[in-house]
Amino acid sequence: MYHTYKNGFIEVVCGPMFAGKTEELIRRIKRLEFAKQNVLVFKPAIDKRYSTKPEIVSHNLSKKPSIVVSASNEILRYVKKETHAVVIDEAQFFDQGIVDIAETLADQGLRVIVGGLDRDFRGEPFGPMPELLARAEFVTKLTAICVKSGLPATRTQRIINGNPANYNDDTILVGALESYEPRARQYHEVPGKDDAS
């Protein structure tokens, strides 16, 4: 037990790409730091889009130092008695064990803030995110702006050579503007989805 008081909880910040998830995590980190809280920030080793340094970086290039881990169980190694909060970015890329890690830390009295894509490019629940959403005390669902319609975008459209990616393409392709666009439900295209179901 890290703390003698029980005030831990899980909060999830989710939405499609370009919705400002990492920017929101950075905002919350700054508030915690202002309140003199000891915060640990983690990101998965797979995410090297904007920086090869140990830092989380938003699409508009706001940054915060982070610890890079390859597997969720590595997170526990870094948590100390004086840690108040743990922030985990790009949680969809972690193994399913991230759910138990989040629960364990919250049960020990820590504030656990998790950011990630709630859906993959197919529009389906992404990795451990559905279970994290179900277990969280607080959920913030952000939207982007659809590049086709200007409507609120809740989906992430993958583009390959100017065309929508096929349903059977790999789920994980780490990229940014060159590979993805935010889309509203009505403008989200996944060729081959009907064949796969």
The CATH number that domain 9-142 falls under is: 3.40.50.300
How does pLDDT run across 84-94, given as a tens digit for each residue?
Answer: 999 999 999 99
Active site residues: 90
Task: Parse the chain into domains and list their residue ranges.
Answer: 9-142, 152-196
E strand map for the chain: 9-15, 39-44, 55-57, 63-65, 67-69, 85-88, 111-117, 138-141, 144-145, 152-153, 155-160, 163-164, 180-183
How does pLDDT run across 21-39, given as a tens digit for each residue?
Answer: 999 999 999 999 999 999 9
User: Domain 152-196 has what CATH class?
Assistant: alpha beta
Question: Residue 194: phi, psi to the nearest 5?
Answer: -65, -30
Question: Residue 90: phi, psi to the nearest 5?
Answer: 55, 45
Two tokens at 191?
């060729």
